[in-house]
A and B are shown apart, each in its own frame.
Chain A
Amino acid sequence: MADTVVEPAIEKGLEPERREQGDVRTEEMLVNMGPQHPSTHGVLRVVLRTDGELVLDAIPHIGYLHRCAEKIGESLPPYQYIPYTDRMDYLAGMNNNQAFAIAVERLCGIEVPPRAQAIRVIFSEFNRIASHLVALGTYGLDMGAFTPFLYAFREREMILDLFEAACGARLTYSYPTVGGVRSDLPDGWVERCLEFLEYFEPKIDDYNNLLSFNHIFVKRASNVGVISREDAIAFGLTGPILRASGVRWDLRKVQPYDGYEKYDFDVPIGEPGGVGDTPRGVVVGDCWNRYFVRVLEMIQSIRIMRQALAELPDGDIMAKKVKNLKLPVGEVYVEVENPRGQLGFYVLGDGSAIPARVKARGPSFCNLSIIRHVARDVLLADVPAIIGSFDVVMGEVDR
C-alpha cells in the first residue's frame, strides 16, 4: 500500500546531504500513520516519508468519511438539511446549524427575533467551550497526559447535560434552525447554566496548572510546528490556528452575526514566550500557542455567555413565515466563526423549496492543507503534536 503514494513534487533540496553521511547511506521509509491511528483524531491517513527519526514529508490522505453532505443538501429543503449539518463537525453541532441557518435566512430575508439570536449565541459559545474541552483533552492525550482528558470530559458531560435539557440531544442537536431555534429554554435553564459557569471558570486554572504551564508539556509543544503569520494567511488558515500565529482576526468581531456586536469580549492571540503567563521557550505560532489560544477562548466564551444570559430578551423564538419556505432566485455565502475556524455555507436558490447548490467550506479542511508545509523536517514524535494542535474533525474535512 505504501509504494503507491510517492509523489514527484517533493522538493529534493536537502536530500543528497542527508542520504550520504560519511560512507553511510541512509534509506527513506514510507510510514502510514492512520487511518486508524489514535492521534490522528479520526480517519486521517498521513503518509510519512521518513529518514530514521526525521520526517521529510507528511502527505495527508483524506476522504475516508465522505458522506456526500453537500449533495444531500441539494435534495432536501433547508429545514430538513439542518440535521445533516450537525454531522459535519460533530463536536460543534450548534455552530454548524447556526451557520447554515444564517445562510438561508440571509438568502430569504428572514428576520430572526432577538431572543432567538441571543439563545443561538449562548449555545454556540457553549458549544465552543465543549469543543475546546475536547481539543485540549485530546491534545493532552496525544502528548501523553491522560488526566486532563478525563477532567475535560467530565466538564463537557455537564455541558451536554444542559444541551440535552434544552433540545433533547447530546451530540446532534439540530437546535438552531432556519428562522430561530426549535424550542424555548426550559424553566430554570438559565440559572443552571450560570451555576455551571460559576463551577467551570475556576477549572480552567486547574487545566492550566495541570497541563498548560506544566514544564513537561511546554517542552513538548513549544517551538514545534511553527507557522508564521504570512504562511497562516497564505494557506487560508482560520480560527485558533490563525490567531495563534499572531493574527487578530475573528469573524465575531470583524463581521458580526446574530448580534455579536452587542457583547464585549477580547480576541486572544498567540504570545511569544516570557510575556505574561506564557512560559519561556514558546514561539508565536507554535503548537503550545495553538493549544493555549483555545484555553483563552474558553474564558472569552464564558464572558459572552454571562452577558447574553444576563440580558436575555423576551419574545418569540421563531421568525414568522418560515413554513413552506421557497428559496428566491439568488445566491448567498455566509461564514461564521466555528470553534475550528471559519465555516462557510454557500446556498444557491432557484425559486423552489430545495436549493440548487449547497457548498460548505470546512475550517478543518483548509487548516489541514498546511500540514505538509509544517510537518516537514521534524522528528517523528512531533508529528502527533502538530496534527493534534490543529484539532481537525474528520467529519468536516471529508463532509
Chain B
Amino acid sequence: MIKDEDILNIEEPVLSAAERLYIPQILGGLKITIGHLAKSLTKSTVTIQYPEEKLEVRKEVYRGVHRLNRDENGRVACVACFMCSTACPADCIHIEAGDSPWDDREKYPIKFDLDELRCIFCGMCEEACPVDAIELTHEYDLVGRTREQMILDKEELLAIYDRTVQDKPRKNPRITGYAGTGNRPSAAPKTDGPEAS
C-alpha cells in the first residue's frame, strides 16, 4: 500500500501569457526549420531522385545480388565444391555438380540455382568460396514478376557478372580451379567439352 507521505502531488506549472498562446513556441520551431530551408536552398539537397539518380554504394563491399564469376577463358569459375551451399544460413544455393569438361579442375556446376527470395544477403557464400567464384555485387534493385523468375540459374548469374565486371573486377582472378596447387591427380584431357559455359 502506498503511504500518504510517499505521494508526490504535482502542480501544473503556471503558464505565462506568452506560453499560453503557444505562438512563440511555434515561431521558435519555425525559426530552426526556416534556417534549414535557407541552408538547403543554397546547398545541394539531401534526397536523390530515384530511379533517375541512384545511390552510390561502396562497390567492393556492398552485399547485393550475387554473380558467378568467369575465369580468364570465359568459363564459369565455380568448381562445384558445395562450400557456399554449406555455409549458407538460408539454404538458398542449389548446385548440381558434374565432371568437368576442362583439364584444370575435376568438377563444374551443371546447374547452379540461387533463390534470391530465400537469400538473406549475409555474404557467407562469398567468404566460404575457395576460388572466389561467387561474389555479391553492388546491384541492389532486383525485380521479378514471379517467384520462379527470382530463382537465378547459372546463365543469369554469369550474365550479372558480365554486366558488373566493369564496375567491380573479380577479387582474385588468379585462382581458378585446383590447377597450380599440384595436389590434383592429372585427369585425361577431354576433348568434347564445351569451350565456355
Binding site for B on A (CB under 8 A): 76, 79-84, 145, 147, 151, 154, 157, 164-169, 172, 174, 182-183, 186, 206, 209-210, 214-216, 223, 273, 280-281, 283
Contact = CB atoms under 8 A, between A and B. Distances in A.
B121 A209 contact: no
Contacts, number: 69
Contacts of A83: 89-90, 120, 122, 124
B122 A164 contact: no
A165 B22 contact: no
A343 B90 CA distance: 24
Interface stretch (B27-35, B66-74, B172-180, B181-189): B27-35
A127 B36 CA distance: 25
Interface of B: 10, 12-13, 19, 22, 25-26, 28-29, 32-33, 36, 46, 57-58, 61-63, 87-90, 120-124, 127, 136
Contact of A280 (B13, B46, B87): B13
B58 A147 contact: no
Given A167-B61, A223-B10, A147 B89 contact: no
A150 B19 CA distance: 26
B29 A214 contact: yes
A282 to B, nearest CB: 9
Contact of A84 (B10, B89, B124): B89
B61 A168 contact: yes
A186 B61 contact: yes
A165 B61 CA distance: 7
Nearest to A286: B10
B141 to A, nearest CB: 14
A81 B61 contact: no
A356 B180 CA distance: 42
A168 B58 contact: yes
Given A169-B63, A215-B22, A281 B123 contact: no
Give the interface centre of A84, A165, A166, A215 by most chain B CB atoms within 10 Å.
A215
> Which 7 A-B residue pairs are closest in the complex by CB-CB distance?
A168-B61, A80-B89, A280-B13, A83-B122, A168-B63, A215-B25, A281-B13
Contacts of A145: 29
Contacts of B32: 206, 209-210
